[in-house]
Amino acid sequence: MGQLGFDFGEQPKRLTRVTPARLSTFDDCPRRYRMNYLDRPTPQRTGPWAHSTLGAVVHTALRELFDLPVQRRTPERAAALVTQHWKDGGFADAEQAAAYRERARRWVADYVEHNDVSGDPVGLERWVSAPAAPEGGPPSLIVEGRADRIDARGGELVIIDYKTGRRTPDQYEARASQALALYAVAAARTLRRPCRRVELHHLPSGTIAAAEHTDDSLRRQLRRAEETTTDLRTATDTLAQGGDPDEVFPARTGRHCAWCDFRPSCADGRQAAQAALPWELLAPRGDGAMTE
């Protein structure tokens, strides 16, 4: 991939650093963005969510697995790493936590057994960053973030993101993911190699959903990021000038309010949806039964 979106000539007076997580949060709900990134002290949050606990453990286990010598990257070792890092936060009780611990052990063991893990990734939870200009000219933003895994294949980079949620992703989701696209742009700049391919590795189903980006598709994602960044910057500046916090960063209510971390601090969110149980977003049980 060429140096898409990069320009090292005259710099604009102001560049905004953005991550996929910040952009996604602002798009989903400006008020949640404000509470998470701007309000100090941080408003009251919910307790842990079981699906987040499980996802974090699986990510940690896979990261540490690739830190090991190739001969030690076995299914048994992968499962043992899940046990080593397991936490019970957000689960209904010890029995449910134990059941999902075993599921997670099986996921990572199957992943190692059925996928080639002999190569050494270029990056594990690697921070990548790049100045970007969607329409050419001086950069208007700096896109950055931490990719789960970056592989090198045939002289090009591949962005890999692990998923442990309820829904099995497909190639369309991989292509539509702004996060993966921005990681691809930033990785190409940081590591000085082409990066077009992005993959979602869904451990519960064993699915790998992949997409190949083009210059045009990456440019579209950069334009989208720039539009969100402009709105975000305007809201932040207005707040700093004394604007009303709830008007400048309005709540974007909906079903997602049921599992928002800042539900205890948002009356609009509490009115919009009944609170979800902390374990409600877990993937279904392996035997076909839904979560409790």
Residue 191 region, left (φ>0) first, then alpha (ψ -120 to 50), else beta? alpha
pLDDT, position 5: 52
Last residue of a domain, one of 224, 240, 269: 224
- Indicate which CATH number applies to the domain containing 127: 3.90.320.10
Nearest one of 252, 256, 244 to 268, comparing CA atoms: 252
What is the tally of structural domains in the chain? 2
Query: One digit per residue, pLDDT tens: the chain, 292 residues?
Result: 454 554 545 544 478 999 999 999 999 999 999 999 999 999 999 999 999 999 999 999 999 999 999 999 999 999 999 999 999 999 999 999 999 999 999 999 999 999 999 999 999 999 999 998 887 778 889 999 999 999 999 999 999 999 999 999 999 999 999 999 999 999 999 999 999 999 999 999 999 999 999 999 999 999 999 999 999 999 999 999 999 999 999 999 999 999 999 999 999 999 999 999 999 999 876 533 333 3
- Structural domain including 168 reads 121-224
One domain, residues 132 and 53:
no
pLDDT value of position 292: 33
Q: Do 172 and 128 sit in the same domain of this protein?
A: yes
- Identify whether residues 107 and 172 lie together within a single domain: no
Domain membership of residue 232 (yes or no) is no
Residues 211 and 133 in one domain: yes
In whole angstroms, give the CA distance from residue 145 to residue 122: 15
Position 285 scores a pLDDT of 63
Q: Is the full-model pTM beyond 0.95?
A: no
User: CA-to-CA distance for 216 and 3, rounded, in angstroms?
Assistant: 13
Assess whether 173 and 108 both reside in one domain.
no
In sequence order, the 6+-apart residues with CB closer than 8 A to the CB of 97 are 50, 86, 88, 91
